[in-house]
């Protein structure tokens, strides 16, 4: 039985503590009274209050941005992942010319700077009267999330074994039938991982949500937190409380599916 070096364990513990400390400090500050937020405090709060969370939901109506983010991120994921799965299957499993150039184009689209297309997208959405609507956010999100999903899934489909799919084709199954019954069960970890990553991308997206929404009824979580204002100062206690509330679903989602995420990210690393 091999023993792990104590130095490596200490270094890993120190790195983990450094990564988790900002989250802990955020959570502690969210229950600290406003008057003590900028005072020197111990790591354990002396006094605790729920006023920030109470004001967040009673005065700020923070459930509305949460609903908006869930609708937009969920809708984008439900549309982008099936489309990307079909495209990635074709690019990863079928023989065709120009696949390399097409994949390079897909990657270029996903890496394109968002700020450069905000003005033309704004004008288009205004003309078709989709500003300040859910479709007005979902459609721009699809322009970036779908190419990213295609890129992620193509590499995964390439590494899947072809034996079972070829056997299904020899038994008379169509290409779509083989995809549905044979390939997709094998690709489930990769598809699930891609769906989670796309959802998180849409949940955290800020620029499009700020540019294409006109009022608090359609603000998503990042925009609502950014636009928190008090009468004379920024209510940092409420901002921190909102950050905790916005971070909690993401953390729970990752913790619930951490094994599937790791399996999906590593399954395509070696051929089956």
Mean pLDDT of the chain: 84
Asked, for residue 1, whether it belongs to a domain, the answer is: no
Q: Please report the pLDDT score of residue 266 as a whole number.
A: 55
pLDDT band (50, 70, 90) for residue 2: low
With helix as H, strand as E and coil as C, how does 95-162 read? CCCCHHHHHHHHHHHHCCCHHHHHHHHHHHHHHCCCCCCHHHHHHHHHHHHHHHHHHHHHHHHHHCCC
pLDDT band (50, 70, 90) for residue 182: confident
C-alpha pair distances (Å), 115 with each of 111, 139, 182, 213: 12, 16, 41, 15
Q: Please give the model's pTM, rounded to 2 decimal places.
A: 0.83
Which single residue is written with the structure tokens 């010319």? Answer: 97
| Alpha carbons 32 and 29: distance in angstroms, whole number | 5
* Number of domain units in the chain: 2
Residues 95 and 130 grouped into a single domain: yes
CATH number at residue 237: 1.10.3720.10
Q: Please report the pLDDT score of residue 272 as a whole number.
A: 41
Segment 209-251, tens digit of pLDDT: 999 999 889 999 999 999 887 667 788 889 999 999 988 888 8
Residues 14 and 71 grouped into a single domain: no
Residues 116 and 249 grouped into a single domain: yes
Residues 143 and 248 grouped into a single domain: yes
Residues 96 and 180 grouped into a single domain: yes
Tokens of 61: 């109506």
Residue 213 φ then ψ, to 5°? -115, 145
Asked, for residue 198, whether it belongs to a domain, the answer is: yes
Residues 71 and 190 grouped into a single domain: yes
C-alpha pair distances (Å), 6 with each of 2, 10, 256: 12, 6, 30
Do 145 and 202 touch, CB atoms closer than 8 A?
A: yes
| Alpha carbons 98 and 95: distance in angstroms, whole number | 10
Residue 114 has pLDDT above 90, yes or no: no
| Alpha carbons 82 and 249: distance in angstroms, whole number | 23
Residues 71 and 172 grouped into a single domain: yes
With helix as H, strand as E and coil as C, how does the chain read? CCCCCHHHHHHHHHHHHHHHHHHHHHHHHHCCCHHHCCCCCCCCCCCCCCHHHHHHHHCCCCHHHHHHHHHHHHHHHHHHHHHHHHHHHHHHHCCCCCHHHHHHHHHHHHCCCHHHHHHHHHHHHHHCCCCCCHHHHHHHHHHHHHHHHHHHHHHHHHHCCCHHHHHHHHCCCCHHHHHHHHHHHHHHHHHHHHHHHHHHHHHHCCHHHHHCCCCCCCCCHHHHHHCCCCCCCCCHHHHHHHHHHHHHHHHHHHHHCHHHHHHHHHHCCCCC
Domain range enclosing 217 = 60-267
Asked, for residue 89, whether it belongs to a domain, the answer is: yes
Asked, for residue 230, whether it belongs to a domain, the answer is: yes
Segment 125-166, tens digit of pLDDT: 999 999 999 999 999 999 989 998 998 888 888 888 777 777
Give long-range contacts, CB 8 A cutoff, 24+ apart: 102-106. 103/151, 103/154, 106/147, 106/150, 106/151
Residue 256 has pLDDT above 80, yes or no: no
C-alpha pair distances (Å), 232 with each of 3, 224, 228, 229: 58, 18, 12, 8
pLDDT band (50, 70, 90) for residue 264: low
Q: Please report the pLDDT score of residue 190 as a whole number.
A: 85
More confident of the two residues 70 and 251: 70
Asked, for residue 55, whether it belongs to a domain, the answer is: no
Residues 98 and 39 grouped into a single domain: no
Asked, for residue 69, whether it belongs to a domain, the answer is: yes
Least confident of 148-152, 169-173, 265-269: 265-269
């Amino acid at each position: 039985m091999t023993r792990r070096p104590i130095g490596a364990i200490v270094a890993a513990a120190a790195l983990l503590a450094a990564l988790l400390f900002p989250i802990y400090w955020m959570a502690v500050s969210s229950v600290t009274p406003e008057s003590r937020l900028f005072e020197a405090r111990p790591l354990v709060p002396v006094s605790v209050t729920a006023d920030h969370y109470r004001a967040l939901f009673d005065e700020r109506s923070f459930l509305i941005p949460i609903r908006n983010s869930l609708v937009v991120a969920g809708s984008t994921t439900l549309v982008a992942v099936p489309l990307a799965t079909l495209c990635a299957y074709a690019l990863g499993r079928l023989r065709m010319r120009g696949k390399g150039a097409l994949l390079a184009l897909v990657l270029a689209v996903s890496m394109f700077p968002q700020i450069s297309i905000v003005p033309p997208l704004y004008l288009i959405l205004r003309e078709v009267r989709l500003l300040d609507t859910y479709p007005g956010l979902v459609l721009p999100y699809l322009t970036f999330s779908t190419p990213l999903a295609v890129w992620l899934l193509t590499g995964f489909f390439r590494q899947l074994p072809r034996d079972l799919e070829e056997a299904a084709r020899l038994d008379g199954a169509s290409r779509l039938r083989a995809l549905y019954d044979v390939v997709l069960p094998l690709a489930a970890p990769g598809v699930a991982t891609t769906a989670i990553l796309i959802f998180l991308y849409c949940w955290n997206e800020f620029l499009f949500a700020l540019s294409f929404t006109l009022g608090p009824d359609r603000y998503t979580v990042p925009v609502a937190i950014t636009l928190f204002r008090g009468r004379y100062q920024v209510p940092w206690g409420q901002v921190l409380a909102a950050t905790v509330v916005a971070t909690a679903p993401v953390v729970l989602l990752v913790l619930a599916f951490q094994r599937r995420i790791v399996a999906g990210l590593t399954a395509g690393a070696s051929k089956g």
